[in-house]
Structure formats: structure tokens, C-alpha cells
Structure 1
Amino acid sequence: MRFQDHAVLVTGGGSGIGRQVCISAAREGARVAIGDLDAQRAGAVAEEIRRQGGEAHGFALDVADQASVHAFVEGAETALGRLDVLVNSAGVREIASVLDLPLEEWQRVIAINLTGTFLPSQAFARRLVAQGRPGRIVNLASTLGLVAAPNRAAYVASKHGVVGLTKEMALELGEKGIRVNAVAPGVIRTPLTERYFQDPELSQMIRGLHATASWGEPEDIARAILFLAEEANGFMTGSVLTVDGGWTTGKKM
């Protein structure tokens, strides 16, 4: 198995893509630390993995709070005995025009999506560098880290920031043996987007946006994340892997 006995830390692991990363990594032999703002959700995913014969530990985690992040990384290392992979999956979005977006909502989205990628990455990398150990970081960007969409100024800005941060960290940490990559998902059916799929017209429109005439599932993104986190892909760093069913390829006319 690709991640046998490796320690994989996942932020936002209590639901959606993060949850699927935790489950998929555990099936590949990883020991998993699940961080989530909702400690009960993190614990439930950990219990699900343990029922399947894996090892997992749930932690309360606020990715925008430095003390909480440090406690998560330290607690994960204590529980798992080592650090190998960090997946930054925690994220939120807003829907409001640039003219109507409240400052508080802008700050919330930037704090969770961008600062909440920086702080865990910094804490994780510092411990690896201090120990002289290699590691891998995979960030969850978005197709909206590559292009824009209406009424999502904070989300688009934050995900463009994640793409830039991924490249910067890859540049600085590569010689220390730490690879940093990102995945840019398209429209994925998760609890965050589920309401789109409850509307037949809207779900059909989503199909039409994609070259594959379909939307993505969390498993599609988890596979891409684990691909980037594999030790075998040691020459990949600073990359942004787009997994979007062809949505950014071009418009159907």
C-alpha cells in the first residue's frame, strides 16, 4: 500500500473532500490525524476508519488560529509518532457581489481558506525541518484559483492566494525535502455544494459546463491528492493539478 504506516494530517477532515481523503488514505495504509472545527465530526470520521481496521485520531482544529494549529500538529505527531503528509482541505465560500460583500465575510473567507492553509503548512514544515525529515504538503485550491466567477470575490481571491502560496512554499522548501503541490477541483458534489444538486435545472446546467457532461465526486479529488502525496512522485513540486471535468478547458459554443 502506498501510504503504509505514513502519518497523514488532514485539515477540514470532518466532511466533504477532506473526509474522503482521510478514508482513502487509511485504506492505503496511512495512520490519519483528522482536524476539523467540529470536533464531533472529526471524531466520527476517525471512528469510521477504526471500524474498517485503520488507525485514526480526531482533533478539534481552527485553522485560522495559530495556537489551535500548533496543538493539532503537535497532537497528531504525538498520536501518530511521526509526520509525513499534510493535506490542507479546510475551506468556506461566500456568495455576494463585490459591492455588497461585508468586510467581516471577506475576512472570514480569507482567514479560513488562505491563512488556514499557511498556518498548518508553516507549523508542519517547521517540525520537519527541525527533525531533518522530508514531507509532502497538498493544498486544496480550486478552478476559481485560476479563473473568476461572479459573486465570489473573497473565495476567488483566497484560492488564487492558495495557488501562489503553493508555488512560494515549493520554491522555499524544496531543498529541505518538502514538496508542496495543489489540486484545483471543479464542481464537486459535497455538503458545501449539495443545494445546487437539489435543483434539477441547476444540476443540468452544471453538467453542461463540463466537457465530461458530469460533475465530480469527493473520490475524484481524493485520488488526485493522494497521487501528489505519493513518495513515488518525488519530482513534482509547485504544481497545480486541475481536476475539473474539462470545465476550464473552454466553453461549449
Structure 2
Amino acid sequence: MPMRDQWVRSGEIELAVRVRGVENRPTVVLVHGYPDTGAMWDEVAERLSGRFRVVVYDVRGAGASGVPADPLDYRLDALMGDLEAVLDGVGADEPVHLVGHDWGSVQGWEAVIGDRLRGRVASFTSISGPDRRHMARWARESVRSGPRGVAEVLGQVRRSVYMPVLMTPWAGEAAARVLAAGFGRVMRLREGADPRSGHPAGTLAADARNGLGLYRANMGRRADVRGRADARGRADVGGRAVTDRGAATLGDGRTDVPVQLIVPVKDRYGSQALLLSARGPVERLYVRRAPAGHWVARSHPDLVARWISEFADHIEGAPETPAIAHARAAGVPGKDFGGDLVVITGAGSGIGRATAHAFAAAGARVVVADIDEGAAKRTVEEIQAADGEAHAYGVDVADAEAMERFADHVHDTHGVPDVVVNNAGIAIAGSLLETSEEEWNRIRSINLDGMYRGSRLFGRLMVARGEWGHIVNISSMAAYLPSADMPAYGATKAAVLQMTESLRLDLDRYGIGVSAVCPGVIDTPIVGRTRFVGMPPGVETELRAWIVQASERRGFPPEKVARAILRAVRQDRPVVLVTAEARLWRALSRVSPTANRALARFGRRAGDRFLTGMERPQD
């Protein structure tokens, strides 16, 4: 498409601006972050230029743009002045669609929250750059919520450990040199984006050094008090009032501009919880999860350009598409899985049923699958009674053709699942010597083959879609706890655990998460349905009743497992051990396999004594 370069003056700074695309079409403005230049957007800009007028510029201190004489003249109010000058310089008379990445996103938030550019921004797409007001609110509320919230904040602190280094004199300059030297390699190895002409820029070393001013001028107490004070001793820094004593009032970060969040699920610098911190303050919020790292615009330009186009079209008046409706539902506060499609097998009872309820309560559309279609329908009725959305389907996961039909039905009727929970399973107890071919085939075909089919069929759909997704396979602590009484069950669950770990490595390149969940001793119907081989009928009945009573006394409900499954998806955990015994046996199996086997033998002898008592004739 036609392209022109021009210069725009903002105070003492000359800004290098590039305009391409179709005149008399809505304008999209792309703002880069640190340590990039406008060339970072080349692939996205080229894809957008067929339908929009696209404006890209090098921010002050980067690329071809001028460098301020004051190394701290990177305050957000100065950056807002640059953006305003660019809009004026390119003749943006109508509100523009603003897109920002990293520090460019931080600038975008300032533009849509403050008053300076009010009325000039039609929509804002934020990529990996949270607003400082939202960030402060999220940290405060997370810490107050309890230990898990504190852990989330500490996890983000770990991701942000580089920031104090960049803010420190001498250390920041040294870090900038290291960053410039290794930036191309990081892009290739960690982001999946090969260096190409223009990115990284030839000016990278100077850009990395100059850009330290972004951190030093806008973060910390010195940044809060910096600004031009008026006659009353107050300063306006980035749209907020600051006294000369440094008392900043950030506000709640509300805006009436519609905002789209593109959240790279593999971002190494911002956790999903932080990047989603705009939920709540932003009334018209749309959320998209991208299967990528921080530089998603470089690694997945087709996806980013498509999402920007869809969002801009909708704001310009196009009807709401299913994808936009999904993104809008995902932006609702308190609904972590808003609009997501979740498929759960074995969801007519137990852990599957509890998981279906939990996902529905979190805003998901749930497909409840079970071999007992009546049980699936009862779960659906319960969810619908609680104002959730759910759909029933009867399927035997051991039937390969039936699973093919199930996957086709889900895709054709509801779309590609965002989350799949392969939960369906059975239990068989008794010596392996007494386990028949029929019984072995049955437990393998459900516990292992069923999870293989669910992972393969739905995993293929997720990969073909090219967006975020997650697969959860329910394993067991029997996967790493040897037992003479449950060898068939333990073998299938060990295979599930290994298959899941391997599948996680396979799907990581597509940005699709995979988790194995090992619950432990849970009070679920599977206990009462356990098949005992090689035992007289009377002993089997008594033993089943005893095990049911023991699990009831343990008192660990399936709802707690469901919450762990949701956490596994949110946090992209590889293996989740739910109960204390599951964690204990896992640790023991790793630290001392010999002790693990010894305790298993002790349990075997205790079981033998128990069975001997059952088989003894009663008076």
C-alpha cells in the first residue's frame, strides 16, 4: 500500500512518523514500547493497511525520532504531548483506534483515562502494558484476599525484578548494553520471532539507553513529584493532580473508551492476573488471550491484525460477531472464564459435575458429557437453574467413533473449545493376576484411551484455530503410589500422567496449556462403583461399603478438586496435587522411592489382615 514518511514537531522533539494504507478510512495508530521502534509493527501495519489508514511513529528517544536534552524528559504528560502532536500532524480529525504495546500501552491508558485527548480516541487495544492505577488496585486487593493473592503479587514482583535495575544509575546503563547485545537472540529463542530488517533496529543500543528515561521519569516517588508546578504549588503529571510534597492521587482508572486487552498467555514480564487488572474499572472491556509471548505482534501478526480489525469494525458500527461477544464476556469482572467454551467428560457426577458447576459460575459455556446422558442432563439442569449456560451430550469415551462424532458435534454446534477437562474414569481393584483381558481392556479404554482421544481430537481443533486453549487430564496419586490392590488403575493413571507431561511439551509451541491433576482420596461416586476382581461377592460388597465409609470420613469434597482444576488452567500449572496425601506421596516417590515401596508393602499387609477378617466365618 502507498506509504509516506513525515516529521512532526512536539516541543523541541522531531518525531519520525510513517503513514500507510487507505485515505478516508478509519485511522489506526500503533505505539511501540521499550526498547523497540515503530518498525516493530511492520507486519501488523502491512496487514491493516488494506482496510485502514495506519499511523506508526518512533517515540521520543527511539529510532529516527529526536532525543530530549533532559534524560528524564520522558514523563507521561510529555509523551501525551507527542501523541497529540502526531494526531494533529497526520490530520486525524476523527477519533482514532489506538493500539499500544508495552510502554506504548502505558501511554495508551494515559490517553483514554486522562482528559487531554478526550474525544480523540474511538477505541484502545492494549498489549502487555497495564495501567499503573489498575496495577496498584490489583496488588492491593490481591494482598488483602489472602495467601494465594499474596503469592500472585510476589510472582509478579519476581517477573518485574529487572525494573529496579533499569531505574538505578550505572546499573541501568549496564543492563541496557546487555539487553541490546542479546535482544535478537531473545526474540528468536523465547518469542519465536526471527530478527529481520528493521527489527531489532540498528539504533537499538542508543534506544535501550535513552529509553531508561521511561522507567526513571515515571516510576517511584521521584516520578510522582516531577512536573511543572502552577502558582498553587500543584502539578499535573499524566492527567493526575500531584502536590509539591509528592502526594499523588491516581484515581480509579475509569474510562468510557471501549478497550480491548490482548493478553499473551506466555508473557514472561506480566502475569495474566496483572494484565487483566483492567477488569472492573473499565466498563466496556473486551479480552483476548493470545498463544504467545510478550512480542506477540512480531510472532503472531496475523492474529493481532485480525483482532484489531474486528474490534475497530465493531466500534465503527459493525454487528457483534461471536468472537467479539466472547471477548466482551471475558471482560466481565469476577468471570475469569467469561464466554469460554469448556468441555468436560464424566460430568454427570463427582469431580466432573463439580467442575462443570465451577466453570459455569466463572462465566463459561459448558458442554457436559457423560456415558449416562440422564446424569449429564441433570447436571445441565442444575447449572441452568443457577443462571449458567450448559449443554448435555451422551458419549462413551471408550468408543473411538463416538468420540469422533462428539468432537464434530461440539465444533459444529458450539465452536472450538477453550478448555477441555478429560475426567471420565473407572476403578478396578484386585490382583493383576485376577484381572481378565476384558476388565483390563475396559479400564484402559476409558481411563487412558478416553483421555488420549479427548486430548487429540480437541487439541487438533485448538491448534487449527491458532488461539489460546487448555487441556486438563485427571490422573491420580495412584500414578506414583505402587499398590498391589489397584495395579490396573494405577497403570492407567501413571500413563495419563506421562502422556500429559509429554503433550504439554508438544503443545507449548502453539501456546496451548496442558495440566495433569492428581486429586487424592475424594468423596465421589467412583468409590462406590469400584469393581473388585478375584473376591467372593459377599466380601466385595463389604469391602466396597467399607471404602465408601472411609472416603466419606476423609470428607474431601469434589468441589475442592474443581477449584484446583480452575487454578491449574488460570496459572497454566503442569501438575496439580490437590490433597495432602497426594502431595505427600508425590514427594516421597521423588525423594525416596525405596521408602515409597516400603510403605506400599505395609499397606498391602494391612489390607491382607483386613480381608482375612472379612472372610472369617461369623458366629
Same fold by TM-score greater than 0.5: yes
Picking from 371, 375, 385, the partner of 1:41 is: 375
User: Which structure would you say has the larger RCO, counting Cα contacts within 8 Å and 6 or more residues apart?
Assistant: 1
Aligned equivalent of 1:190: 524
What is the one-letter code of the residue matched to 2:556? G
Residue 220 of structure 1 pairs with residue 560 of structure 2: yes
Q: Deviations over 1:203-244 (max 9, x none)?
A: 29x86xxxxxx44210111011111122xx24x3xx221112
Post-superposition offset of 1:130? 1.5
Contact 1:12 1:91 in 2 (8 A): yes
Matched, 1:134 2:468: yes
Matched, 1:244 2:584: no
> Does structure 2 retain, via aligned residues, the 8 Å contact 1:221–1:243?
yes
Is contact 2:429–2:488 with CA below 8 Å preserved after alignment? no
Query: Which amino acid in structure 2 is aligned with residue 34 of structure 1?
Result: V
Between the aligned partners of 1:43 and 1:203, the Cα distance in structure 2 is 30
SS of the aligned residue for 1:192 comes to helix
* 3-state SS of 2:526 partner: coil
> SS in structure 1 opposite 2:428?
coil
3-state DSSP class of the match of 1:121? Answer: helix
Confirm or deny: 8 A CA contact 2:472 2:515 kept in the other structure: yes
**Aligned-partner Cα distance in 2 for 1:202–1:148:** 23
Label 1:167 to 1:44 Cα distance change in 2 as closer, same or farther (>3 A): same
Relative to the length of structure 2, the TM-score reads: 0.37
Distance 1:43 1:203, change over 3 A: same
CA distance in 2, matches of 1:51, 1:101: 43
Match of 2:396 among 40, 56, 62: 62
**Structure 1 CA distance for aligned equivalents of residues 413 and 458 of structure 2:** 15
- 1:13 is aligned to 2:355: no
2:360 is matched with: 26
What code does the residue aligned with 1:143 have? M
Question: Which residue does 2:313 correspond to in 1?
Answer: none
Alpha-carbon contact 1:8-1:86 (below 8 Å) kept: yes
- Range that drifts further, 71-80 or 9-18: 71-80
1:245 deviates by 2.3
> Residue 162 of structure 1: CA displacement?
0.4
Question: Residues of 2 paired with 1:29 and 1:92: CA distance?
Answer: 29
> Where does residue 386 of structure 2 map in the other structure?
52
Unaligned residue ranges in structure 2 (runs of 5+): 1-334, 530-542, 586-598, 600-619
Partner Cα separation in structure 1 for residue 544 and residue 387 of structure 2: 33
Q: What is the one-letter code of the residue matched to 1:156?
A: G
Per the alignment, residue 154 of structure 1 pairs with: 488
Residue matched to 1:178: 512
Structure 1 contact 17–219 (Cα < 8 Å) conserved:
yes
1:5-27 Cα deviation digits (max 9, x unpaired): 10000011111100110011101
CA distance in 2, matches of 1:56, 1:33: 6
Deviation at 1:154, TM superposition (A): 1.0
The answer to whether the 8 A contact 2:416-2:465 is kept is no
Alignment deviations for residues 75-111 of structure 1 (CA, whole Å, 9 cap, x no partner): 2233333310000100001012122111110111011
Q: Which moved more, 1:128-137 or 1:25-34?
A: 128-137
Q: 1:24/1:98 Cα in 2 relative to 1: closer, same or farther (>3 Å)?
A: same
Structure 1 residue aligned with 2:439: 105
SS of the residue corresponding to residue 249 of structure 1 reads: helix
Q: Secondary structure in 2 aligned to 1:35?
A: strand
Amino acid at match of 1:87: V
Letter in 2 for 1:229: V
Query: Which one of the candidate residues 413, 417, 429 is aligned to 1:95?
Result: 429
How far residue 198 of structure 1 moved from its aligned partner, in angstroms, is 5.3
Displacement of 1:47 after TM fit?
1.5
| Residues in 1 aligned to 2:516 and 2:408: alpha-carbon distance in whole angstroms | 24
Q: Is the 8 A contact 2:368 2:380 kept in 1?
A: yes
CA–CA distance in structure 2, aligned partners of residues 85 and 152 of structure 1: 30
Alignment of 1:161-172 (within 5 A): 161-172=495-506
- 1:200/1:136 CA distance change after superposition, 3 Å: closer
Please, what TM-score do these two structures have when normalized by structure 1? 0.87
Identity score, percent:
37
1:122 aligns with 2:456: yes
Across the aligned residues of Structure 1 and Structure 2, the Cα RMSD in angstroms comes to 2.3
What SS does the aligned partner of 2:515 have? strand
Residues 527, 548 of structure 2: 8 Å contact kept: no
1:74 to 401, 408, 411: 408
In the alignment, is the contact (CA less than 8 A) between 1:186 and 1:216 conserved in 2? no
CA–CA distance in structure 2, aligned partners of residues 188 and 160 of structure 1: 18
Contact kept? 1:70, 1:120, Cα under 8 Å: no
The alignment of Structure 1 onto Structure 2 pairs a total of residues equal to 240
Q: Deviations over 1:161-220 (max 9, x none)?
A: 00000011001111011111111011100112248795499629x86xxxxxx4421011
User: 3-state DSSP class of the match of 2:556?
Assistant: coil
Q: Is the Cα contact below 8 Å between 2:518 and 2:582 reproduced in 1? A: no
In the TM superposition, what is the alpha-carbon distance from 1:73 to its structure 2 partner?
A: 2.1
Check if 1:203 corresponds to 2:537.
no
Secondary structure of the residue aligned to 1:9 is strand
**Deviation digits for residues 102-156 of structure 1 (CA, Å, limit 9, x no counterpart):** 1110111011000110001100011111221221001100000111223211100
Distance 2:356 2:522 in 1: 17
